[in-house]
Amino acid sequence: MEIKVLRNILEANEAIARENARLFKDKGVFVINVMSSPGAGKTSFILRTLERLKDDFKVAVIEGDIASKVDAEKIQEQGAPAVQINTGGACHLDANMIKNALNLLNLDDIDLLIIENVGNLVCPAEFNLGEDLKLMILSTPEGDDKPLKYPQMFTLCSVLVLNKIDLLNQTNFNLRKVRESAAKLNANLQIFEVSCTTGRGIDNWVTWLKNKLLLGWICRKRK
């Protein structure tokens, strides 16, 4: 019974996610779903990304948290539109939450929408939001065994960001081990090593993202 209920929930979510994806495509908005465990640095990573994109692209953010609007306020201070979703206990965002949040954004004035999911390495991976790209952040203090413990997250994501590289010498985190483990799960995974504190590696990530956005913009212009 529980398996059937979960299947029905996921099927209903997929239907709404397809609606979201069609809307994003029609409006020409590229969407990134950012996932990680709590404290890995999702908001800091988004802020660093905004700093480097704000002069070239129009970016908006949807913030997902169980409670509070702290992160949305940080994004707004950067000058970007932000919508806060408080799940009230749910451990992930779903497609319907995103659909409702879109009513508070002007998609005609957005090139890139970044969705910060609730901190969790399990549930967010199962719920499609209609995004173009799933991105996972893993920080060095969390340990290098996460690909073994949470394989679905690594399998479904297109990008893996290894954050807090500045703390590498203070942990037992093995970069080579993580890269090898992740590659076995997903051979096409793009991996970026960054420090949101020092800014190291952020330019490499943003250059890659800009190429993605420009390619999408060129394709839309050719339609």
| In the predicted structure, residue 105 carries a pLDDT above the cut 60 | yes
pTM for this prediction = 0.93
Q: 5-19, 155-169, 200-214: which has the minimum mean pLDDT?
A: 5-19
pLDDT digits (tens, 9 = 90+) for 143-165: 999 999 999 999 999 999 999 99
What is the set of domains in the chain, with CATH numbers? 2-222 (3.40.50.300)
The pLDDT assigned to 82 comes to 96
Q: Give the residue, 194 or 78, on which the prediction is more confident.
A: 194
pLDDT (mean) for 33-47: 97
- Whole-angstrom Cα distance, residue 198 to residue 164? 9
- Whole-angstrom Cα distance, residue 173 to residue 144? 5
pLDDT (mean) for 2-19: 81
183-210 burial, b for 16+ CB within 10 Å, e for fewer? eebbeebeebbbbbeeeebbeebbeebe
